[in-house]
Amino acid sequence: MKSDKPQHDDAIPTLTEVVELETSIDPQLLEAIHTEISARVTRLVEELMREASRELETILLKRVSDQLRTRLPELVEDAVREHLGPG
């Protein structure tokens, strides 16, 4: 039995669609499967977010370091000139 929900090429089948195909699944088993899938998805999302966070941290650290290398010499030179006068 096909779901009445609109189908898209990138649609992910849901547990509900599986149940529509197999109506003899015990509701307690279905709840256990749902709980397990939810827990696994949560762990995957947390892992992916940690990886993305580490990648962003690396990118931002490099960007800040590059900016410091570029701007710090001029900042030091300006501060020295203000206090010591022209060379």
The reply to whether 1 falls in a domain is: no
Structural domain total, the chain: 1
The reply to whether 57 falls in a domain is: yes
Q: What digits encode the pLDDT tens for the residues 27-58?
A: 888 889 889 999 999 999 999 999 999 999 99
Prediction pTM value: 0.57
The reply to whether 7 falls in a domain is: no
The reply to whether 19 falls in a domain is: yes
The reply to whether 72 falls in a domain is: yes
What is the domain extent for residue 28?
15-84
pLDDT at position 5, please?
52
What gap in Å lies between CA 61 and CA 64, rounded to an integer?
5
With cut-offs at 50, 70 and 90, classify the pLDDT of residue 61.
very high
The reply to whether 79 falls in a domain is: yes
Query: DSSP alpha helices (H): ranges in 1-87?
Result: 15-21, 27-84
The reply to whether 8 falls in a domain is: no
Cβ atoms 1, 20 nearer than 8 A: yes
The reply to whether 10 falls in a domain is: no
Lowest mean pLDDT among 18-22, 38-42, 73-77: 18-22
Q: Which two tokens stand for residue 52?
A: 């993305």
